[in-house]
């Protein structure tokens, strides 16, 4: 039985390796091709940006946590749906988790945060040493 294997396609030899894995796989195995996941630099940039927003922006009279802002930005980016919770006392946003975002979508999230911050007067901390989107 084969282990789970991943081939990152950078050049022709990587594609040949992936094709070889497919040829060697038993019937019934599954092949999935996905875009690259977010980078370490992107991930390292997210939390300082959310911290800057949470410290400087009051949202409808409330100071929100980094995690709350992450949910707000993710919901805005993905145009999420909202449903009542199980006891009817509140609501739950349905949609995409940042951990499942690819590089492109995560870059869009970072850009959305920068754009929001610009409109709301956020002064960004120095995060040059944390990488870039």
**Phi/psi of residue 39, nearest 5 degrees:** -90, 165
Return the pLDDT at 117: 98
Q: How many residues does the chain have?
A: 133
Question: How many whole angstroms separate alpha carbon 58 and alpha carbon 121?
Answer: 11
pTM of the shown model = 0.68
| Residue-range domains of the chain with CATH | 1-33 (no CATH), 40-130 (1.10.3790.10)
pLDDT in tens, 89-101: 999 887 767 888 8
Question: How many whole angstroms separate alpha carbon 40 and alpha carbon 29?
Answer: 30
Nearest partner of 52 among 127, 128, 119, judged by Cα: 127
Query: Model confidence at 128, in pLDDT bands (50, 70, 90)?
Result: low
Query: Model confidence at 131, in pLDDT bands (50, 70, 90)?
Result: very low
């Amino acid at each position: 039985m084969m282990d789970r294997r991943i081939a990152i396609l950078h050049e022709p030899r990587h594609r040949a390796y992936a094709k070889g894995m497919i040829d060697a796989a038993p019937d019934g195995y599954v092949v999935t091709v996905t875009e690259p996941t977010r980078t370490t630099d992107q991930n390292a940039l997210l939390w300082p940006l959310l911290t800057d927003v949470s410290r400087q922006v009051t949202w409808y009279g409330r100071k929100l946590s980094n995690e709350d802002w992450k949910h707000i930005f993710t919901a805005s980016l993905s145009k999420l749906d909202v449903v009542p919770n199980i006891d009817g006392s509140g609501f739950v946003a349905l949609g995409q988790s940042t951990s499942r975002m690819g590089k492109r979508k995560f870059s869009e999230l970072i850009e959305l945060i920068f754009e929001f911050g610009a409109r709301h007067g956020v002064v960004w901390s120095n995060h040059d040493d944390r990488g870039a989107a």
